[in-house]
Amino acid sequence: MTQRVGLFSKATAITAAAIVALSCVGTAFAFQSGPSSSSQTEESVVDSSQAAKYAEAMSSFTANASGDTLSYSVTGATKDVSADQTPVGKHGKLSVGTADGFTAPTIIDSHGQAFQLRGASTHGVQWFPQYVNKGAFQSLRDEWGMNMVRLALYPREGGYLEGNQTQMDAKIEEGVQAATDLGMYIVIDWHVLNYNPNQTADQAEQFFRKYAEKYKSYDNVIFEICNEPTGTNWYDGSSNDLYTYCKRIATVIRDAGSDAIILCGTNTWSQDIDAVSAKPLSDDGFKNIMYTLHFYAGTHYDNIKNKLKTALAAGTPVFVSEFGICDASGNGGIDISNANDWITLLTRNNISFACWSLCNKGESASYLKTSAYSTTGGWTASDLSTTGVWLVNTNRALEDLIATAETSSSEPTTEPTTEPTAEPSTEPSEEPTTEPTTEPSEEPSTEPTTEPSTEPSEPSAPSESTATLTTHSAVYGDWGTGAIGAIELRNSTSSAWNDGWTVEFDTTGTIDNIWCAQIVSHTGNHYVVKSMSWNSTVWPGQTVNFGFILNKDASTSAAITNVTIH
């Protein structure tokens, strides 16, 4: 997808997150259990009445979530949930199998019942490590209706293989610990982006051997072994295809003693899901394997939906490990109507999903507004972006649907089906300006976006400005030869700051990349930057942020000093 360097929240939270990232965490896990057998589904006694109710509820669901108005309360409150009532406590270790009412194999819980994961994908952990913590995950569980978190772990783009392994290892451990304590499922995602994963297969082997051995007895861990490959056929007999890579990494995971679900990426940013059926890993005896489909509602319409339907009809187990309600750039137009059509199709086929992305980066795919300070949960309605509002409405509606099915005593009156009872509309309510294609509207990149998803709500500007801005700066994620810096500007007055802002500061390195601001000049390590056109006005109570990547000598510590604004 769309993955780029991001924006950062309140300086104190960033600094604290950086310290946490380098710390070790405990080893007592509330839901840790002995190794589970992949045959556990066959050993379970399935409640056929409950299975029928679930299938009927899912197959009749039609999504109609709003992105403008919350239908549920989001106050930042948390719940005291007993271990046996958490998602993992209720559903246990997951596997892949068949379930009455659904055509293709799907996720099955420890009781043999079909089960849908509804998850949050982080942004790149090397850029936004501060959101990987128990407080953030608990808010997603308790108020957002989620039961899973996906950790996006880039091998490249300044990630795991490019100087950030220590930090990212710490965040994996913290993330799995948090999810385990909360009884949530967690996906460890080797976030390959825009290349053939065979290029880093040796390193992927080491990574997955390490974590499969570490978490082989955990009921809540899932492995995603290549996020969005490109230019690589699923199978062509070349020994350099995706089948070869996935078989190789799956073998490593199984040899390490883990029978966890494995998610395999597909070609063209995980869109070519229909190619898998010609050569699935099950042909070589592998179990608990699923294949990923990714979509962005502002870009992907009938063409990709038809690929999904073809794959399901062929018996391919599908997992949507990443999607967004905007276009494939991550910062383009939002199509709520098409997003709802997608969720209808996924739910009626019991397909699990994770939405991109948990952060406050100034783009339309982010759950949180840039003014949302907290990185540890406790978010309220005013913190949510359009994506955040839609996501809460969607997940809570599904949570309510399933709760009703679980408590209902009525028997289904019709045979459940895997196809919608009426074909959902696959086009937005208004015709898109360009013909949808299978390719993203622009090539996904790791460069930051410069336009926010929406403009802030703008009250009438006062005739005379007496506004002042205060600044906070922070550096985190120092990997020796580089670091990430962020500066926040806050207007705590009752007047608007008009006509743009200019910030001067010194650094211990040179800026390699900057987002949400533009460099006016620099002499040595002294920089002058100014606002973009869209964030030049800072309204009363508003905060704007900009960030940058520093290149520096490994012998020096990254720092931002002498910050002034005018």
List, by residue number, the catalytic residues: 228, 322
* Closest listed residue to residue 9, CA positions, set 359, 497, 415: 359
Tally the residues of the chain: 566
Angle at CA of residue 493, ends 491 and 497, nearest 5°: 55
Question: CB under 8 Å to 368, separation ≥6 — which residues?
Answer: 358, 359, 360, 379, 383, 384, 385, 388
Q: Report how far residue 179's alpha carbon sits from residue 149's, in angstroms, rounded to the nearest whole number.
A: 8
Give the N- to C-terminal CA distance of the chain in Å, as an integer.
37
Q: Which tokens sit at 412?
A: 């289904």
Work out the angle between the directed axes of helices 134-142 and 165-182 (0-180°, nearest 10): 40
Q: Work out the number of other CB atoms within 10 angstroms of the CB of residue 538.
A: 23
C-alpha 319/C-alpha 273 separation (Å) is 10
Q: Residues 256, 283: contact at Cβ < 8 Å?
A: no
Burial 150-180 (b: 16+ CB within 10 A, else e): bbbbbbbbbbbbebbbebbbbbbbbbbbbbb
Q: Going by C-beta distance under 8 Å and a sequence separation of 6 or more, which residues neighbour residue 350?
A: 55, 58, 99, 102, 106, 107, 114, 115, 116
Decide: residue 314, CB within 10 A, 0-12 exposed, 13-18 middle, 19+ buried: middle
- Helices within 368-463 (DSSP H only): 386-407
